[in-house]
A = this chain, B = another copy of it.
Amino acid sequence: MAHLFDVDPWVVSTTDLDPQKIRLIESITSIGNGYMGMRGNFEEGYGGDSHLGTYLAGVWYPDPTKVGWWKNGYPLYFGKAINAVNFAAIGIEANGQALDLFTVPFTDLNVSLDMRRGRLTRSFTCEVGGVTLRVNVERFLSIVTQQLSFQKLSIEIVNGQGSLRLIPSIDGAVHNLDSNYGEQFWHEVGRSTAPASLSMRTNPNPFGTPQFTVTAAMASAVVGLDAEGVQSQQLLVADPYTATISPGSVVELVKTVAVVTSRDIDDADHESHAAALLTEASAKDYEQHRAEQESAWAQRWEQADVEIDGDAPAQQGIRFNMFQLLSTYYGEDERLNIGPKGFTGEKYGGATYWDTEAVLVPLYLAVSQPDVVLSLLKYRHRQLPQARHNARQQGLAGALYPMVTFDGVECHNEWEITFEEIHRNGAIAHAIANYTSYTGDRTYLLNEGIEVLTEIARFWADRVHYSERTGQYMIHGVTGPNEYENNVNNNWYTNYLARWVLSYTRDVVLELDEERRATLDISDAECGHWAHIAEHMYLPEDAELGIKVQHDTFLDKELMPVSAIDAADRPLNQHWSWDRILRSCFIKQADVLQGMYMFESEFTPAEIRRNFEFYEPMTVHESSLSPSLHAVLAAAAGLHDKAVELYERSARLDLDNYNNDTEDGLHITSMSGSWLAIVHGFAGMRTGDGLLSFSPFCPERWQRYAFSIRYRGRLLKVQVTPEGSAFELVEGHPLTVQVCGTAYETSIGSPVTVQSQQVKAGS
């Protein structure tokens, strides 16, 4: 297929500025540093269709819930990641005419996102105000000092003369595209000139959630320009510079911005704190900061990079995904989580979903130090009181983690999701087990983790009901991971997960001493009740078909493969009425298979294959999370070609704009998919029972792929080719690695090489 961006191993670039595609380019060239981020908006502004977006982690606004018919228990507000002050603006005027690539003629344009070095550059030649300018802009958000943004603008005068004016500014007149009632969420609370700064505060709200104050201060260093002095007006602070220009003259402006928020700094100290950050930053020049950024990214890549030989688009795709993920979250702040669009857009509100536990925890466990995932776990522990509140909203005991949240309080407002898609509560528990099993570190589990587990177990114990007729516990009225059905009874995945939570939590509780159990207020009777439920939990299955049944009446449906429906009907959610989707057999994303993915060791490969071959053909994969998870299972079931086919559907989702919605922002949480497909799927990495194992194969079109993983203090480099696989320990004590069932010992300097087996089942 034709790619929208040039294919290159480390750079995403384009030379084509189609005005229809500005939003798409802005999304793809988003940058972030975990603390803040922004879409690839042009510094000088753009008069055409564009979505200006700057976002600050953890800064949000509760927008009143809007529904047609209110239902008891609905959340009062929907949280929005709010579009923050635009601090990247640098206006450019030549002889009084503003440079706007929507209106002025230009040539030789290049926009490049350098993923290896973590920076965005843009260059072009244009005619403006009778002058020909060669413009270069570079910017990065520091991952060394997260409050800092750096931009360097260099302009060479190719032709013409007169005056040139550069206007770095901080602009507070921004608004959200997705506000329910069109309001602006911010107001100005202060401006200053030395340094030039603007303070904005989110509006008061009727829900009692915190207001946020944000202050952005800027300093500019210039070559060949004279300062006009800081100018300010309501919602805007500017620090313009001018130069008299003639052919051959060159001007430069380096804009440094410090952004502080009331999340970290008292409002009263904002200006001084921001000023201090700028002063500190000024001790180094732009090139030094740039080099530090490059080196910090190199460290991240050392652990997180995936190399693919023989498939340049795949190579670029996986790097883009990893780059955007690591730009969104790197675990520095345990009050934060990972929004589905990160810092790249507003839809889905940048809030926390169960995506984090389901598909991001496994990745971050392997590509970063354990404290990154620990931060994600602590995030949920901090929100235990709110999770209790959510359960009470439904009249239930224990804790219910939210479907969508900023502060732990549920803010999604469709009853079939909010009230019924409760399997999310199991994924939160599972991530604790996953972390514990992967790292071998039981500290979190036995301290904070067990508090979370206990309350989740209590939720399930209250949420099940005992069916007299069958003598079993059931869970009615749920929505499983397959959101193309809802309000079903005994969703196999949900029941299985609830049963696991009850058993696992009980096992952990039984390890605790009396005193600790007393602080958790867990009696033997309660533990016994959990065991009773777990023992008598109803799990629908069909002996004849040899499959687990998605929910009670799934097999009564008219069953047919996706291939039986017209391609013009796809995606279903854009072509079929909702009721038709609901009663069809078609599955949005893994449901039974989600359970087999999470608890793979509890099923035989034959079972997995039978269920995969039953359910996958009915799966439309209309969730961006779906194909990669299926790729992992297909690989586990020995269906290598199917695994590769499914991998390819997720690897370049945004880069190739598969879903035709990337202009709204990137699918950040889905970006783990391609990594999971490669590492857990193609390489078959597993970490159960404290044993690291692989069962690798190399996709036919590839010559080689390689990745590194962090595992219990080691850094292990894995390389797979059609001929075999190699495992090289880069850091840490010697390690036993099991490859296709055989254990090998590896230590630094002693890599293990394993030949491919001749027979590859199913491929």
Contact = CB atoms under 8 A, between A and B. Distances in A.
Given A468-B559, A469-B555, A476-B556, A577 B68 contact: no
A470 B556 contact: yes
Given A395-B577, A416-B487, 20 more contacts: A69-B414, A71-B578, A72-B577, A72-B578, A73-B577, A73-B578, A73-B579, A73-B580, A394-B577, A415-B579, A420-B579, A465-B583, A467-B558, A468-B559, A474-B556, A476-B553, A477-B582, A477-B583, A552-B553, A553-B553
Interface in A546-583: 552-553, 555-559, 573-583
A516 interface: no
B413 A68 contact: yes
A465 B584 CA distance: 10
Contacts of A74: 578
A578 B487 contact: no
Nearest to A65: B68
A294 B137 CA distance: 87
Contact of A582 (B487, B552, B574): B487
13 contacts: A65-B68, A66-B68, A67-B68, A72-B574, A73-B580, A393-B577, A395-B576, A395-B577, A415-B578, A419-B579, A489-B556, A552-B553, A553-B553
Contacts of A553: 476, 489, 552-553
A695 interface: no
A658 interface: no
A466 interface: yes
Copies of this chain present in the complex amount to 2
A127 to B, nearest CB: 43
A574 B70 CA distance: 11
B583 A476 contact: yes
Which 10 residue pairs of A and B lie closest in terms of their CB atoms, listed nearest first?
A73-B577, A419-B579, A477-B583, A71-B578, A476-B583, A487-B487, A465-B558, A394-B577, A467-B556, A67-B68
A129 to B, nearest CB: 43
A486 interface: yes
A410 to B, nearest CB: 11
Given A476-B557, A556-B474, A576 B487 contact: no
Interface in A523-558: 552-553, 555-558
B555 A466 contact: no
A583 B491 CA distance: 14
A570 to B, nearest CB: 13
A486 B489 CA distance: 12
A487 B553 CA distance: 12
Nearest to A558: B465
Nearest to A551: B553
Given A469-B555, A580-B394, A575 B72 contact: yes
A465 B465 CA distance: 30
A72 B576 contact: yes
B469 A556 contact: yes
A73 B582 CA distance: 13
A68 B416 CA distance: 12
A663 B162 CA distance: 74
Nearest to A583: B477
Contacts of A555: 469
Interface in A379-411: 393-395
Contacts of A413: 68
A68 B578 contact: no
Q: For A573, A576, A583, which residue has the most chain B Cβ atoms within 10 angstroms?
A: A583
Nearest to A487: B487
A56 to B, nearest CB: 26
Residue of A65, A72, A486 with most partner-chain B CB within 10 A: A72
Contact of A477 (B73, B395, B466, B579): B579
Interface in A16-72: 65-69, 71-72
A419 B580 CA distance: 9
B466 A558 contact: yes
A474 to B, nearest CB: 6
Interface string A464-492: 01111110001011000000001101000
Contacts of A72: 573-578, 581
A553 B491 CA distance: 13
A42 to B, nearest CB: 32
A395 B583 CA distance: 13
Contacts of A416: 487
Interface string A485-505: 011010000000000000000
A571 to B, nearest CB: 10
A467 B466 CA distance: 29
Interface string A420-463: 10000000000000000000000000000000000000000000
A276 to B, nearest CB: 44
A288 to B, nearest CB: 49
A574 B580 CA distance: 31
A164 to B, nearest CB: 48
A75 to B, nearest CB: 10
B489 A578 contact: no
A583 to B, nearest CB: 4
Contact of A66 (B66, B477, B558): B66
Contact of A577 (B419, B486, B573, B577): B419
Contact of A419 (B69, B71, B477, B578): B578
A557 B73 contact: no
A78 B68 CA distance: 10
Nearest to A470: B556
A323 B206 CA distance: 45
Contacts of A487: 416, 486-487, 582
Contacts of A395: 576-577, 580
Contacts of A489: 553, 556
Interface in A500-523: none
Given A477-B583, A576-B395, A577-B419, A557 B69 contact: no
Query: Which of A416, A468, A474 has the most C-beta atoms of chain B within 10 angstroms of its own C-beta?
Result: A416
